[in-house]
Chains A and B, each alone.
Chain A
Amino acid sequence: MAVLNMIPISIPISEEKIRSLKVGDSVAISGVVFTGRDAVHKFLHQGGKLPPGVSFAGGILYHCGPVVIKDEQGQWKVTAAGPTTSIREEPYQAQIIRDFGLRGIIGKGGMGDRTAVACQEHGCVYFHGVGGAAQVLAECVKGVRHVYFLKEFGSPEAIWELEVKHFPAVVTMDAHGNSLHKEVFEASQAELARHV
């Protein structure tokens, strides 16, 4: 990935670093991220526990259901890994940011007001990946460290612990209450009113 003009982000991330980011910033994320989508959010929201030794504190939760295959040596290999639509996690996200100490969410399409407030209160940002760009983003996945809940939730819904390098994303909701999604929605709604 071209990392020119991109702000490097290393995991774990400090609160200070997160609060320095603003809507519109392009970032390149490196370190260990965990995937988690619909089943994981519902599970954690209902009081489910992370496996022993797993912590999201200071880390990033990636809304993603990757394609993962086992190669000839029996190693997991991620062959496609773009973001999934985040808004489905809106009922759960704020609580999970608070309870698990997340500093970042990677997803697509943005999230709602409750998540925006949680980002502001607890120091977290929403990083937008390019939806559908599963190959470019899989190339940034350098290794699979572990997988959890594979049997219970199935491959796309499992928690995959991935090592990523220079994963490209844009801050679309920052820790100061700003949201590009809200801005674009309001502007496009006003524009549409002029055309109907």
Chain B
Amino acid sequence: MNALHSSLLELIRRTSAEIPDDVQKAILDALEQEKKGTIAESALKIIERNVEMAKQKSQPICQDTGSILFYIDCPVGFDQISCEETARDAVREATRKGYLRQNSVDSLTGVNDGTNVGPGSPALHFHQHRSAEIHVRLILKGGGCENVGAQYSLPNEKLQADRDLKGCRRVILDAVLQAQGKGCGPGILGVCIGGDRATSYEFSKQQFLRLLEDRNPNPELDGLEQDILQTANQLGIGPMGFGGKTTLLGVKICAANRLPASFFVSVSYMCWAYRRQGVTLDPRGEIVQWLY
């Protein structure tokens, strides 16, 4: 077993069992906010206990270990083909060990071969950079939250959403309303304004690589992020849709250029079981640093 294989296996184990510090902090803050004795508070207490137990037992935080999304920054000359093969092997082994559920189904035959490896799974996104470092980030995104994602094409007459930031705000808040508790709230939104149908969703998911407490360098988007977060938390949807103060833990928005004819707003929803981790690897594939 080579070093890259072991490192990726450990990355998968830790991503599945341990919530990143920024998310755990946000959950604890939310627990403080909720009214004592409500079912919202009791749901958050179970969530808090679950986070601790998963870490301690090194078992999946959520049984839906999700779509397996790797984001890899690599130097010029890096062998992407063998990295991809190693990642697929690491996923097979992680599944045998129970770090991942047998979670990948052939869409035509309905067969789940129990390996988690097949067309589109795992998904690897390579990005070359002019640095010698290798960063591998991993997101495990469950189906409940994936199913409540939404893509809007503006203008949207029903929601009175025009092609401007006010229109974007309306559709993003509509996505929060429609999601209610179905995506395992309190959730986190990743949003892309613009792009084509595919890139728009893709960029919206990449927003989940950001830290919850970071701020958007673009003042307009930063304003929109804060506004959506505050407004969503006044709707009373609450943890699991039980009613309560915390509907969202964070909102992250980016913008991509669009065609004159198109104006998409893509909203990806991440559940509270926000599984995101990353490592810096040395050229041999050994872990030198954890990124979250």
Contact = CB atoms under 8 A, between A and B. Distances in A.
Indicate, yes or no, whether A interacts with B: yes
Interface of A: 24, 26, 39, 64-67, 69, 79-82, 84-85, 87-88, 108-110, 128, 130-136, 138-139, 153-157, 168, 170, 172, 180-181, 183-185, 187-189, 191-192, 195-196
Nearest to A66: B63
A128 B240 contact: yes
Nearest to B241: A184
Interface of B: 39, 42-43, 46-47, 49-50, 53-54, 57, 59-65, 98, 101-103, 105, 110-112, 114, 142-144, 147, 160, 169-170, 173-174, 177, 180-182, 184, 231, 234-238, 240-243, 271-273
Contact of A135 (B43, B54, B105, B240): B54
A109 B98 contact: no
A116 to B, nearest CB: 15
A184 B180 CA distance: 8
A80 B60 contact: yes
Nearest to B101: A67
B87 to A, nearest CB: 21
A26 B105 contact: no
A191 B63 contact: no
A26 B45 CA distance: 14
A85 B170 CA distance: 26
B174 to A, nearest CB: 8
A155 B43 contact: no
Contact of A184 (B64, B174, B238): B238
B272 A132 contact: yes
Contacts, number: 165
Interface centre among A79, A139, A181 (most CB of B within 10 A): A79
Contact of B235 (A67, A134, A188): A188
A97 to B, nearest CB: 20
A88 B235 CA distance: 25
Nearest to A168: B46
Contacts of A81: 63
A80 B101 CA distance: 9
B111 A188 contact: no
Given A132-B271, A154-B111, A79 B98 contact: yes
B182 A64 contact: no
A189 B144 contact: no
B243 A184 contact: yes
A191 B173 CA distance: 11
B240 A134 contact: no
B101 A131 contact: no
B63 A130 contact: no
Given A110-B182, A133-B47, A154-B111, 16 more contacts: A24-B39, A67-B63, A82-B62, A82-B64, A85-B144, A85-B182, A109-B144, A130-B50, A134-B60, A136-B46, A154-B102, A156-B101, A170-B43, A181-B241, A184-B242, A196-B169
Contact of A131 (B54, B110, B144): B144
